[in-house]
Amino acid sequence: MSGMHGAPGHGPRQQAGVERPRKRVSGADAAAQRAENALAPRIPHLLARITQLFAPHRNTLIVTIVLVLISAALSVVPPLLTQKAFDDGLFPPGDTPPNLSVLGVLVALMLGVFLVNALLGVWQTWLTASVGNKVMGALRVRLFTHLQAMELSFFTKTKTGVIQSRLQNDVGGVATVLTNTISSILGNTVTVIAAFVAMLLLNWQLTIVAVVLMPVLVFAQRRVGQVRARIAGKTQESLSDMTAITQETLSVSGILLSKSFTRQQNEIDRYAGENRNQVRLQVSQQMSGQWFFATVSVFLSAIPAIVYLVAGALVFNGTTEITAGTIVAFTTVQSRLIFPLLGLMRVTLDLQTSSALFARIFEYLDLKPAISDKPDAALVPSVGSGRGRVEFDHVRFAYPDAGGDARPTLDDVSLTIEPGQFAAFVGPSGAGKTTVSYLIPRFYEVVDGRVLFSGVDVRDLQQESLVSHIGIVSQETYLFHATIAENLRYAKPEATDAELVAAARAANIHDTIDSFPEKYDTMVGERGYRLSGGEKQRIAIARVLLKDPPVLILDEATSALDSISESVVQAALDTASHGRTTIAIAHRLSTIVDADVIFVVDAGRIVERGTHAELLAQGAFYASLYARQITSSPAP
């Protein structure tokens, strides 16, 4: 679009199918390096932020915590009952036969504990799954809502696929952590502590044997977590690249482009290459830590055999008396310690691994919109003689990423468009015409000067109120993959069928819609590709008419149409602009010869202004532009 070509990073997006240099040094590597170098201070911070996500579900969490504590406490009861079963039931003191009554009570207690624990487990799983998924859903909506508030420049310099990846892949990647973190940490911690206490009560010497190497395992786990965090960051970056490739090449525009240049195989190779990288990273992520857990499992599984040996040595040396029931109970407790301890290590590793994902999510959530309402921002005045007036007061503007030494896109622009006037902006590509249309609804912030709407600086108005008074019809019409009626009602959800028909008639599109078999229920297809360019433009005009704004901005709304479609659309635009302040960004000067005032823009400045006749009479820049277009136009 005009006015954007002069600013780096604000022109048309790079099209799918075009060779791009592959960049492998990315933000993921830097984030992963930070995750490795500063993981220790990050984990507590992340835990604090994750905990905040659960705040709305405090009551449910309290119930969950109580269930976890009860379940964890009950899990160490059976081993203690086992000791009693051996020492008092199966092998009572003396040479007496097994005490069946004692055994019956102990077995009944064991079965009761198992049953209660199973029921508590089902209840706990339902609570944690519900809370975890609600938190994940709320996080996704919170991220989406925050992105809706970001300024336009954020989206012009960020790939759509990357944004989609943050919403889908990153949030989905932390689902397990959000769902299981609290219950796993609490349950496994309590179980480990309870088992450790039970082991001490049974025999402190054997307990030392069982836990002597634990500090080594904790240190090894920390190192494994750092490696997994780095791999996770690279994996998510690769997923972002794959999502971006999919979004670019499998859209209607991307498919048309790749087919037009027979570049399908190139796109397949590009996707396959990134897919191979993703497969490699996924395998690395799955395998990282496997040797660690295998070592831990072997160590913990070997402890019972070592306990037998140490117990035998202690009894043989007369150091202590250990009954068979004590040994069986101790090894049972120790075996029950294995899974909670491994679970605790795994959830800790999951937190470390997810640090890169949470960092990416919170990075977006921590972004501050460059344009936001003041605390005392006002509504657009609904009455007054100046309603719909647009003024530029010594406006200077440069795009945020244009660079400090770049020429400003607009430089000291001052103009006034009175209510009800038809004003046109003309000039060469890159002169700054479209930028003018972006500053009026405050899609960008001026560097110097003021933009006034209805007599009020746009920075002092609520942006939602401001935009509600402006209708925009651009060259690139965007329609949703929905029915014509649904696309029209996007401007006014409560609109009646009669209002839809009235807007469509005013936009010269009703008869065309009425000729379709499904009429207003016709699906327009992806980006409206089932319709012609002129039909899409007229539906866009009808949508704006349904909004009924006092100010209308037409950004080269007919420049991409053929002469027949242009005349039909131009007639609809003439109807739409009647009684409104209309600002037309024009490429074809023949469409604006009847404008009340024409502003000629060149190199970011207003170099001429006046009516068509006045500007022709001056014989300057506008006259030369008009003469060139008349000369280059084909003869009728």
Asked whether the predicted pLDDT for residue 452 surpasses 60, the reply is yes
Q: What is the pLDDT of residues 150-195, one digit of tens each?
A: 888 888 777 777 787 777 777 877 776 777 666 677 777 777 777 7
Long-range pairs for 317-325: beta carbons < 8 A, 24 or more residues apart: 319/205, 320/203, 320/205, 322/203, 322/206, 323/86, 323/87, 324/86, 324/87, 324/91, 325/82, 325/83, 325/84, 325/85, 325/86, 325/87, 325/91
Sign of CA dihedral 298, 302, 303, 306: negative
Contact 348, 225 (CB under 8 A): yes
Mean per-residue pLDDT of the chain = 78
**Which of the two residues, 238 and 411, has the higher pLDDT score?**
411
Contact 432, 602 (CB under 8 A): no
Asked whether the predicted pLDDT for residue 23 surpasses 50, the reply is no
- Smallest CA-to-CA distance from 170 within 229, 241, 233 is with 233
**Which of the two residues, 537 and 608, has the higher pLDDT score?**
608
Asked whether the predicted pLDDT for residue 481 surpasses 60, the reply is yes
Specify the length of the chain in residues: 636
Q: How far apart are CA 236 and CA 224, in angstroms?
A: 18
Going by the DSSP 8-state scheme, the letter that residue 6 receives in this structure is T
pLDDT of residue 20: 40
Asked whether the predicted pLDDT for residue 554 surpasses 80, the reply is yes
Query: What average pLDDT score do residues 608-635 get?
Result: 84
What percent of the chain has a predicted confidence (pLDDT) above 70? Answer: 79
pLDDT level of residue 122 (50, 70, 90 thresholds): confident
Contact 417, 388 (CB under 8 A): no
Q: Which of 194-208, 408-422, 521-535 has the highest mean pLDDT?
A: 408-422
pLDDT level of residue 229 (50, 70, 90 thresholds): low
| Type of residue numbered 383 | V
One fold for both 387-469+551-636 and 476-548? yes
Fold type of domain 387-469+551-636? Rossmann fold (3.40.50)
pLDDT of residue 168: 78
pLDDT level of residue 404 (50, 70, 90 thresholds): low
What percent of the chain has a predicted confidence (pLDDT) above 90? Answer: 14
Indicate the angle between helix axes 58-75 and 175-202, nearest 10 degrees.
30
**Which of the two residues, 550 and 260, has the higher pLDDT score?**
550
Q: What is the pLDDT of residues 424-451, one digit of tens each?
A: 999 888 888 889 999 999 988 999 999 9
pLDDT of residue 457: 93
> Which H helix or E strand runs over 234?
helix 214-249
Comparing 60-69, 217-226, 228-237, the range with the smallest average pLDDT is: 217-226
Asked whether the predicted pLDDT for residue 26 surpasses 60, the reply is no
Query: What average pLDDT score do residues 408-413 get?
Result: 90
Asked whether the predicted pLDDT for residue 634 surpasses 60, the reply is no
- Smallest CA-to-CA distance from 587 within 539, 538, 554 is with 554
pLDDT of residue 450: 94
Asked whether the predicted pLDDT for residue 56 surpasses 70, the reply is yes
With tokens 């494994």, the residue in question is 224
Going by the DSSP 8-state scheme, the letter that residue 20 receives in this structure is -
**Which of the two residues, 604 and 350, has the higher pLDDT score?**
604
Asked whether the predicted pLDDT for residue 7 surpasses 50, the reply is no
pLDDT level of residue 561 (50, 70, 90 thresholds): low
pLDDT of residue 48: 79
**CATH superfamily name and code, 55-365:** ABC transporter type 1, transmembrane domain (1.20.1560.10)
Q: Find the angle CA(555)-CA(559)-CA(565) to the nearest 5 degrees.
A: 115
**Which of the two residues, 132 and 458, has the higher pLDDT score?**
458
pLDDT of residue 40: 46
Q: What is the pLDDT of residues 130-145, one digit of tens each?
A: 888 888 888 888 888 8
Asked whether the predicted pLDDT for residue 125 surpasses 50, the reply is yes
Q: Which of 15-19, 285-289, 408-412 has the highest mean pLDDT?
A: 408-412
pLDDT of residue 607: 93
Asked whether the predicted pLDDT for residue 405 surpasses 50, the reply is yes
pLDDT of residue 319: 64
Query: What average pLDDT score do residues 506-515 get?
Result: 88
Q: Yes or no: is domain 476-548 CATH 3.40.50.300?
A: yes
Domain boundaries, the chain: 55-365, 387-469+551-636, 476-548
pLDDT of residue 24: 40
**Which of the two residues, 253 and 382, has the higher pLDDT score?**
382
Walk across the sheet containing 390-397 and list its strands.
410-417, 390-397, 448-453, 456-457
pLDDT of residue 379: 92
**Which of the two residues, 95 and 444, has the higher pLDDT score?**
444
Asked whether the predicted pLDDT for residue 571 surpasses 80, the reply is no
**Which of the two residues, 240 and 320, has the higher pLDDT score?**
240
Beta-carbon count within 10 A of 120 CB = 17
**Which of the two residues, 419 and 215, has the higher pLDDT score?**
419
Sign of CA dihedral 243, 246, 249, 251: negative
Q: Which of 94-103, 228-237, 497-506, 562-571 has the highest mean pLDDT?
A: 497-506
pLDDT of residue 42: 59
